[in-house]
Amino acid sequence: MKRIAALLLLAAAAAAQAGRPCEEKPQTVRQVEQGLALAQATARQLDASGAQVVLLARAGQDLSKYGLQWSHLGFVYKDTTQQPAVWRVMHKLNHCGTDHAALYRQGLGEFFMDKPYRYDAAYVALKPELQQALLPVLTDNARVARFNERRYSMVAYPFATTYQQSNQWVLETLAGAAAPGLATRRDAQAWLRAQGYQPTDLHLSTLTRLGGRMTQANIAFDDHPSARRFTSHIDTVTVDSMFAWLPRANLSEPPQPVKP
C-alpha cells in the first residue's frame, strides 16, 4: 500500500513540476488568472451536466501539424466527501521530461496551471453505467493504479506494454471498468481492439524519430512494430482518437467544449 500511495502525489508543489521541463519559469499572473477562469468555467459546466465522471481534455501542446486539437486528458469525478462537493482530476503526468511518470489527484485549478498552449477545454460525459463503475476505482489508490506502468514514452504503442503514456493509462483504466474481468494491460488492449478503438497514425520521418529518441528521454519507438515504424507510421493514443471512438462505441455522449 505504501508503494501505491507513493504513486499518488497530491502536493500542488510537486504537481507544478510534473508534465513539463523542470527548468521552466514560474507562471505569470495572467497565466494564473486564465487557468483559474477556465477551471471555474469547467466546474460550472460539469455541475450543470449532472455527470459524476467525465473525461476532460486540455490543449497543453500545439499538435495542429498532426491534425490534433487536444494533447492530454484525465478522469474528472465529483468528490462528495467534501461539502460542498468538488471536482477532482485523476491523471498521469510525465516527470520533467524523464522516462517515467506517476499518477496525480488534483483540483481543476491545478489541472489548468500547466501553462497550456491554449486556454480551452472539452469533455465527454461517460454513459451512466460506466460512470458508476469508474467512481469507486478513481477514489481508491490501489484500484486506480492497477493498469499503471511507470515506464513512459510520449508515443507509446497502444497495443504493447513496454511503456505507457498518459492518455493510454486513461484508456486502459476505462477498459478495465467497462469490462471488469480484464486482469492485465494486455487484456485491456485486446478488449479495446475488439471494441474497435483506432489509435492516431502519426507520420514521423526517420530523422524526426532519431532526433526525438536521441534528445528526449520521454520518447521511445522500440515498442512499435518494425513494419509500421520503418515506413514512418507511429500509432499512439491521442485525446482526439478517444473522443472519436467513445461515442461510436456507445460509451459516452459526444464531446462538449467548455464555454467561458
Residue 226 CA to residue 176 CA, distance in Å, equals 28
Tell me the residue ranges of DSSP E strands in the chain: 53-59, 72-79, 86-94, 101-107, 118-125, 200-203, 233-236, 256-257
Dmax over Cα atoms in the chain, in whole Å?
54
Q: Are 175 and 191 in contact (CB under 8 A)?
A: yes
DSSP designation for 27: P
pLDDT at 216: 79
With beta carbons less than 8 A apart as the criterion, state whether 172 and 163 touch.
no
Please give the pLDDT value at position 23.
56
CB 213 within 8 A of CB 142: no
Residue 3 confidence (pLDDT): 35
Number of H helices, E strands in the chain: 11, 8
| Sole residue written with cell 501553462 | 115
Over residues 166-199, the pLDDT tens digits come to 999 999 999 999 999 999 999 999 999 999 999 9
Query: In the chain, which stretches have pLDDT less than 70?
Result: 1-24, 205-215
* Cell 474528472 -> residue: 76
Q: Which amino acid would we find at residue 100?
A: H
Half-sphere exposure of 96 (CA within 13 A, CB side): 7
DSSP tag of 37: H
Residue whose C-alpha is closest to residue 245's, from 187, 179, 174: 174
